[in-house]
Chain A
Amino acid sequence: MSSTPNRFAINGHPRIPNGVNGGPHRASSMTRVASGLGAESEAKEDDHEDDPIHAALQQRWQDTEASIAALFGGDGQPRRASSKPADAAPTESGAPSDAKTTSAPPKKAARQIDDDYGDDDDEDEEEEDVEKQSPLKSKGKAALPNGLSPNHLRAPAPAVKPPAAVRTTSSAVSDPAKSSEDVRKQLEEDKKAAAEAAKLSFQSMFYTYENDRDAMLEQQKLDELDREVENELSTGQNGTANATSATAGAAAGQNTTQGSLGSADLGASSLTLKHLIARIDMKRDMVKASDNQLRTLISEVRKGRSKWASEDRVGQEELYEAAEKVLMELKAMTEYAQPFLQRVSKREAPDYFQIIKTPMDIGTMIKKLKQFNYKSKKDFVDDLNLIWANCLKYNQDPAHPLRKKALYMRKETDKLTPLIPDIVVRDRAEVEAEERRLHSVDADDSDDDDAPLMASRGRKAPKKGATSSARKAPPVAVEDTSTPVPEDRKPAMHPSASNLRNDFLRADSEAHDANSTGLNTPPPGLATPLGVNGVHGSGAPGSQADVMEVDGFGHSATSAIVEDPDEDDTEFKTWKQVTKKDRAQAAAERNRLFHGNRYPFLNEEEPALLRNKAGMRRWIRQQKMLTEKPNVEGDTQEGAESTEQPAGESTLAEGIEKDEDSTLPDYYNPLSAIPDLDEKWKWTTDSEGYVVSQNEQGMRMFPKDRYKAPQGSLTNKMETNMHQMQETRKICAKIGIVKQMQIQAQTYQNQFQKYEPQPFLEQDVGPVVVSEEGPLMAPWVNRTAFQRSVGKIFYHAGFEDFQPSALDVVTDVASEFLTKLGQGLMLYHEQPRKEAETPRFTFEEQVLHTLDENGMDIESLETYVKDDVDRLGNKLGVMHERMKSHLADLLRPALGDHAGADGVGAFNDGSEQFVGGDFAEDLDEDFFGFKELGLADELGLESLSVPLHLLQNRMHSAYQAQNQGPVPTSGLIFTPPEPYEAISTENIGNQIGLVQDFFRNKLRANRDEPLVEDEDLPQKQRFPKPRLPPTGKISSPRKRPLKEQQQAAKKKRKLEESEEKTKTLKPLRLQMPDAQENGVDPEKDAEANAPMSPESIGN
């Protein structure tokens, strides 16, 4: 009490604004000063006691006031103006939030409310903590929490002080102001931190889905309610709505003026403007414009208003804005609010209306709100409390479940109501009248003084009030009816305190009034009643708190315990509240999938669940956030802080933009966490709509070429070597033939096996279906493949062929060896590790150990590669060259050493030198005239000998056989004509008529077997070639075999005998038997006969 007089003394002028200013200051200072003081200070204020601390406080207060006075002392007008801005805070703050809410659909409003839950919880906790700390005096406790809360409280009741502080910019004043701001900031930070922590914990903690169904049902109820209200409103309120909307324009105009009351307050309401205003305030002295000008300026900049805005109804916008939020928030606590959402029907409780005369429910309240039925905060709060009171009244049984809910809701209500600005909606005309009156009348001192305290008290109370009201439900309703009632009661408990509180309340309400009305100084007459109302609005809980303080303080602890099951796991609670809406949605979506079907079956008509990019991005972000939690937390906190607005109201409206993504942890959206489907799991349909069954993906073809030697340089070398060997062997075979021919006088067609090596082709296994990775477990196939490899190595080692038993033995040994190698590798690989990360043996060590274990080492392997593969290749190459040159030597025998000095040796050993014709080369004699012909030049022959194989028929045939392979591949332009069909009894008719008889006879001689061409005859049966006798004179065409000659002689005789009988037949008969007996082919015959014919004819 002492402080106010002082202040007035200093100020000497309008008290109300100062009071408004001062109130919060003191409150804040008190809060800062501390615990346990509250009660005393209250008492002091009544008794003018001088406690040292209080004295100090007062001193400080005075200093502050003095400095403020000094600042504003000059003229009253500006000060008044300055006080206005302070008042305007709520309006201002209300306006932007209005804007937001109007733009945002109602659902988002609910979201904002969600945000605030954290705040409230935190607050509660703090309060509880404080309570527990000082269990001593009920009063003290009551005061204490109050002391704490004002900072927060100021948000709604608001901002009276901070603006002042900012505006004055004097250090003295800003000290407490700042401190209070700090505290508030602190609180907000705490809140944010808690919210963030909760959110983080959502991510890291798994909450079961079991509450989702409840959430969904509740949400459905809520939506229903909304719809209902909407319907009712739209039907019943068309007229009024129009009316209000008509008035809206006018109201808007007024609001602008009101809103422009304080630039600083404006700042509080809007983020963008806040900085601007802070800036302006900092350089206030440099700004030439007056406060009024600034205000108008800013108000012009400001955006539009909410649906509640009304020109004619002063304060409606702010009040309704806040009220709606509170209502929405309460409604959103579906777990508890659910029973109160709708009117109690007679069906439910037949006797309800006998007991409850004035039923109330949230739905009705919304309706009322929308119909602008509330005139003041008090009306609203009364209705709210009425709901709970009704419930408590009807359900007398203390164990009744609804009671608990009602109590909870009441507690919440008490927490929330302070957020509603204490505004009485008045008509504009009324306000203007007030304004006029204002000049003459001043407000009550006491009111001014006590306002802040009371505000804090009211603020504080809710917590206990709620719990206490649990027991004393009926009184609450009674209390609500009028301010005096609580005041009356309070005195009974604690007169001074209640008085004080009352004063405070009034002051507070006045302040609110001022805010709401936008008047510099509300006329006292009006102010007081309003104040009372307003106080009641906020103070009603306070009074309850007092009631509770009386008898219920013991309960505060117990009440806490009672509520434990709920509050116990605050995290879980937070979770439930914050995510309720989203969970409900998720559950609804899930539910939809089963809609219209019996439970376990999915609804086929529902669209498929698809991942979307946003969801996946979000999931990733959340995962990332979890991993780098600390940093992110800090960041988001800062961000939140920057967007934070000083007024509590505006925090309600906040978070719209932040909240675009759902609060649900990612396990609620499992789709986003699913990685991409493997190609083979995909559900694909072919062009005809059949599902492409990809099950066989499990069963797949054994990869190709697994049974072939892998391509490597070693393999390549070995294969090159083997190829080289084959080539060399070819030459070798030729050499052998040549040598053999040199030895043998006669060779036979089939004497020499043509060496026709096949290229080494490794055959892969046929198509095999396997079900898993890894080798094919087919022992026989594998063994065969291994044998092939062994055989290859054999060949590489020089064995052209080998016995199967050898192959088997070596295969067994090698497989045994390799098995041991594998086992050794496994053994070393699986050695227990000494350290967790590093295996006992590196791979290199494993290999070396294994090799050593099996009697091998790297050197021997290297030696093998170097000596037995590389060097072998070289050797083979050399050998090949040697073979080639040797063959060339053989084919072109020259006068070598063995020819002897005089060339006598050239005739030795069946040398063909003279046949070849190059014997004369030494003499430079062109024996065959090759030089002359130009053959030497043309063919590039270095020696003019006739190649041996051209000269000799036998050579030729041998080589033909030899070279049959290469010939077709050398790319003949014309395919050689098909060999003549062997003449047989079947196709003899195809021959010309002349020779048919001849052939028929031949065939008969051949026992009807097809005739064999002369060239194809075995060597021995061939007709010997004619040779020139040493005389060089062809005496007789050829020497006939004896038999033939005898036959011929016989024939001759016969001929001669028959000649006489039948002359005509002679020529024919002459030839026929000859052919018959001869058994030679016609060509041969013709050839042979050619020289013969003269003789026979002659004969």
Chain B
Amino acid sequence: MAENKNAKYRTEIQQMMFVSGETSDVSPETTSMIESIVQQQVMEMLKRATELAARRGVRTISTDDLIFLIRHDKAKVSRLRTFLSWKDVRKSAKDSDDKGGGGGDAGGVDDFDLAANDPTLGTGPSVGTRNSKNKKAKVGLPWDVSSFYAEQVPEREDEEDEEEEEMNAATLQRLKQADERTKGMNAEEYLHFSECRQASFTFRKGKRFREWAGFGVVTDSKPNDDIVDILGFLTYEIVTLLTEEALKVKAAEDALKRESGGDEEKRGRKRRREPGLFDPPEEARTPVGPKHIQEAFRRLQKPDIKSRYMHHVPKGNWQRPLKLI
């Protein structure tokens, strides 16, 4: 998977990594590794979602199937819901404004991404395209309370979902980090940053993505746009997560090196250098390498303890299923 010809998202991945905190240039090996990981994840998701749909007796996967796959990560679900509802808003706004531009939904997603993640605003779209009449519709989940009942009841305005807020905490934290990072940026840098934030696996590359993700192979359905958008969102999340984790791994490694290995190395050659005038800046020293990514992936694949149950079941050559990040 790491072959160059297969690497279709190098730029996007680089951009995403930049947004996630990896400032320096990343080697193609790293990106291709990330790409393959993401691809694997996406395929797995599709496969499972298809299975779920098949269980319901449906051939096409729905958004619920996808959400169901990541249901345990409540923060992610929450983000996804926010994303979907804003997408909805955008769509309706566009519909009402009769402004369906090229790219349609995808464009909306893009805008939304920009808006939702805008560090300066935090919440709410900054784009003026939003029709004030449009309400942010909540995306209901099959396991929500509202689905307990046969009748669907319109939402009420005044109800604040405290659960939602809680779930958003992680998102807000992420936004805050981005805010911190962008504080010291000048206009150009910020522009670059915001451009990078728009990086997507799916935006305006729907066809490429479908091929890449194995639509028609993994799932024989023709996915609707929602699915693709969700996948785009999820892939972004995966890359972010991987990068963050890899950065952590690298930080730990660096720390360790500084403690022991580095010392040893330095002692072997020469005394630790005094920080000189022309030393490279600290943070931009070395980019995250494939091994970091690998380690990060390993860590993320670490089974949570809930899966320990039923381990006693005689399983033969049983392989732990891939964990969706």
A binds B: yes
* A residues whose Cβ falls under 8 Å from a Cβ of B: 725, 728-729, 732-733, 735-736, 739, 798, 800, 817, 820, 852-857, 860, 867, 871-872, 875-876, 878-879, 882-883, 885-886
Q: Which of A736, A817, A853, A857 contacts B150 (CB 8 A)?
A: A736
Q: How many residues of B contact A (CB 8 A)?
A: 20
CA distance A739 to B151 in the complex (A): 10
A selection of 16 A-B contacts at a CB cut-off of 8 Å is: A725-B148, A728-B148, A728-B149, A729-B149, A732-B149, A733-B150, A735-B153, A736-B150, A798-B145, A798-B148, A855-B305, A855-B309, A876-B148, A879-B146, A882-B153, A882-B154
Structural contact, A855 and B151, CB atoms closer than 8 A? no
Contacts beyond the supplied A735-B151, A871-B163, A886-B154: 9 A-B pairs with Cβ under 8 Å: A732-B151, A800-B148, A854-B308, A855-B308, A855-B309, A872-B145, A876-B145, A882-B153, A885-B156
Smallest CB–CB gap between B132 and chain A, Å?
A: 16
Q: Return the contact of A857 from the options B147, B154, B305, B311 (Cβ within 8 A).
A: B305
Nearest Cβ distance between residue A2 and chain B, in whole angstroms?
Answer: 107
Q: Are B306 and A856 in contact (CB under 8 A)?
A: yes
Chain B residue, CB-CB nearest to A821: B309
Taken together as a complex, chains A and B put the C-alpha atoms of A878 and B153 apart, in Å, by 11
Roughly how many angstroms separate A431 CA and B105 CA in the complex, as a whole number?
149
Enumerate chain A residues within 8 angstroms of B163, measured Cβ to Cβ. Answer: 867, 871
How many Å lie between the Cα of A860 and that of B156 in the bound state?
31
Interface status of B312 (Cβ within 8 A of chain A): yes
Q: Chain B contacts of A853 at CB under 8 A? A: 308
In angstroms, how far is the closest chain A Cβ from the Cβ of B273?
46
Question: Which residues of chain B have C-beta atoms less than 8 A from A820's C-beta?
Answer: 309, 312
Complex: chain A residue closest to B74, CB-CB: A867
Min CB gap B137→A, angstroms:
15
Report whether A798 and B306 are in contact in the complex, using a CB–CB cutoff of 8 Å: no
Q: Give the complex CA separation of A706 and B163 in angstroms.
A: 37
A860 adjacent to B306 (CB under 8 Å) = yes
The smallest C-beta distance from A760 to any residue of chain B, in angstroms, reads 16
| A854 adjacent to B156 (CB under 8 Å) | no
B159 in the interface, Cβ–Cβ < 8 Å?
A: yes
Instruction: Tell yes or no: B307 within 8 A of A by CB.
Output: yes
| Binary CB contact string for chain B from 178 to 199 against chain A (1 if under 8 A, 0 otherwise) | 0000000000000000000000
Question: Cα distance A798–B151 when bound, in Å?
Answer: 14
Which residues of chain A have C-beta atoms less than 8 A from B151's C-beta? 732, 735-736, 739, 883, 886
Interface of A is mostly: helix
Complex Cα distance A820/B149, Å? 36
A879–B156 touching, CB < 8 Å: no
In this complex, what residue of B is CB-closest to A877? B145
Q: A854 and B145: CB pair below 8 A?
A: no
Report chain B residues within 8 Å CB of A735.
151, 153
Docked CA distance A775–B311 (Å): 29
- Chain B residue numbers with a CB within 8 Å of A736 are 150-151
Residues of chain A lying within 8 A (CB to CB) of residue B308: 853-855
Closest partner residue, chain B, to A881 (CB atom) = B156
Distance A852 CA – B148 CA, assembled complex (angstroms): 32
Whole-angstrom distance between the Cβ of A211 and the nearest chain B Cβ: 68
Q: Which residues of B sit under 8 angstroms from A854, Cβ to Cβ?
A: 308-309
A879 near B305 (CB under 8 angstroms)?
no
Residues of B within 8 A of A800 (CB): 148
Report the number of A-B residue pairs with Cβ-Cβ less than 8 Å. 60
| Minimum distance in angstroms from B231 CB to a CB of chain A | 27
Give chain A residues whose Cβ lies under 8 Å from the Cβ of B159. Answer: 878, 882
- Rounded to whole angstroms, the CA-CA distance of A886 and B153 in the bound complex is 7
Complex Cα spacing A732 to B146, Å: 11
Q: Which of B308, B309, B311 has the most CB of A within 10 A?
A: B309
The residues of B with any CB-CB pair to A shorter than 8 Å are: 143, 145-151, 153-154, 156, 159, 163, 305-309, 311-312
What separation, in Å, do the CA atoms of A513 and B311 have in the docked complex? 108
Q: Which residue from chain B places its CB closest to the CB of A739 in the assembled complex? A: B151
* Cα(A736)–Cα(B153), bound, Å: 11
Distance A728 CA – B150 CA, assembled complex (angstroms): 10
CB B168 to nearest CB in A, in angstroms, measures: 15
Q: Which listed residue (B147, B154, B305) contacts A798, Cβ 8 A?
A: B147
A725 to B147, CA, bound (A): 12
A817 touches B148 (CB 8 A): no
**B154: min CB distance to chain A, Å:** 7
Sort A-B residue pairs by CB-CB distance and give the 5 closest, nearest first. A855-B308, A855-B309, A798-B148, A875-B145, A732-B149
Shortest beta-carbon distance from A120 to chain B in Å: 81
B143 to chain A, nearest CB (A): 7
Residue on A nearest B305 in the bound complex, by CB: A855
Of B149, B156, B159, chain A has the most CB atoms within 10 Å of the CB of B149
Q: Are B145 and A732 in contact (CB under 8 A)?
A: no
Contact residues in A for B146 (Cβ distance below 8 Å): 879
Interface pair A883/B309, CB less than 8 Å apart:
no
Residue of B whose beta carbon sits closest to that of A875? B145
- Min CB gap B110→A, angstroms: 33
Contact between B149 and A883, CB atoms less than 8 A apart: yes
Measured between C-beta atoms, what is the minimum distance from B169 to chain A in Å? Answer: 14
| Nearest B-chain residue to A852, judged by Cβ | B305
Residue of A nearest to B161 (CB): A875
Nearest CB on A from B139, distance (A) = 16
Specify the chain A residue showing the minimal Cβ separation from B312: A820
Q: How far is the CA of A736 from the CA of B307 in the complex (A)?
A: 41
Q: Which residues of A contact B148 (CB under 8 A)?
A: 725, 728, 798, 800, 876, 879
A-chain residues with CB within 8 Å of residue B309 when the two chains form the complex: 817, 820, 854-856
Enumerate chain B residues within 8 angstroms of A733, measured Cβ to Cβ: 150
Instruction: A879 to B147: give the CA distance in the assembly, Å.
Output: 10
A871–B164 CA distance with the chains assembled, in angstroms: 12
Chain B residues with CB under 8 Å of A875's CB are 145
Give the docked Cα–Cα distance between A167 and B142 (Å): 115
CA of A728 to CA of B148 in the docked complex: distance in angstroms? 10
- List the B residue with the shortest CB-CB distance to A820: B312
Q: Are B307 and A855 in contact (CB under 8 A)?
A: yes
Tell whether, in the assembled complex, residue B153 and residue A798 are in contact, meaning their CB atoms are under 8 Å apart: no
A864 to chain B, nearest CB (A): 12
Q: Please indicate the chain B residues that have their CB under 8 angstroms from the CB of A817 in the complex.
A: 309
Q: How far is the CB of A894 from chain B (nearest CB, A)?
A: 15
Question: How many whole Å from A254's CB to the nearest CB in chain B?
Answer: 107
List, in ascending order, chain A residues with CB within 8 A of B154's CB.
882, 886
Give CA–CA (A779, B277) in the complex, Å. Answer: 80
Q: Shortest Cβ distance from A802 into chain B, in angstroms?
A: 13
Residues of A within 8 Å of B149, CB to CB, are 728-729, 732, 879, 883
Report the minimum CB–CB distance from B285 to chain A (whole Å): 37
Min CB distance A892 to B, Å, is 16
* Contact assessment for A879 and B153 in the assembled complex, using a CB-CB cutoff below 8 Å: yes
Roughly how many angstroms separate A817 CA and B154 CA in the complex, as a whole number?
40
Give the CA-CA distance A885 to B156 in the complex, in Å. Answer: 10
Name the residue of chain B whose CB is nearest to the CB of A874. B162
Q: Which residues of A contact B305 (CB under 8 A)?
A: 852, 855-857
Instruction: Please indicate the chain B residues that have their CB under 8 angstroms from the CB of A729 in the complex.
Output: 149-150
Rounded to whole Å, the gap between the CB of A755 and the closest CB of chain B is: 9
Closest-CB distance, B12 to chain A (whole angstroms): 35
A736 to B150, CA, bound (A): 8
Contacts of B311 in A (CB 8 A): 855
Q: A854 to B156: give the CA distance in the assembly, Å.
A: 42
A867, B153: Cα distance in complex, Å = 22
CB nearest neighbor in A for B159? A878
Tell me whether A879 and B306 are in contact (CB under 8 A). Answer: no
How long is the Cα–Cα vector from A736 to B151 in the complex, in angstroms? 7
Chain A residue contacts of B156, Cβ below 8 A: 882, 885
Closest CB-CB distance, B263 to chain A, in whole Å?
38
State A481–B153 Cα separation when bound (angstroms): 133
Q: Are B312 and A798 closer than 8 Å at their CB atoms? A: no
Chain B nearest CB, measured from A603 CB (Å): 68
Measured CA separation A1070–B87 after assembly (Å): 75
CB of B19, distance to nearest CB on chain A (Å): 31
How far does the Cβ of A911 sit from chain B's closest Cβ, in whole Å? 18
A872 to B148: give the CA distance in the assembly, Å. 11
Q: How far apart are B157's CB and chain A's nearest CB, in angstroms?
A: 11
Report yes or no: A883 in contact with B145, Cβ–Cβ below 8 A. no
CB-defined contacts of B150 to chain A, threshold 8 Å = 729, 732-733, 736
A57 vs B127: C-alpha distance when bound (angstroms): 132
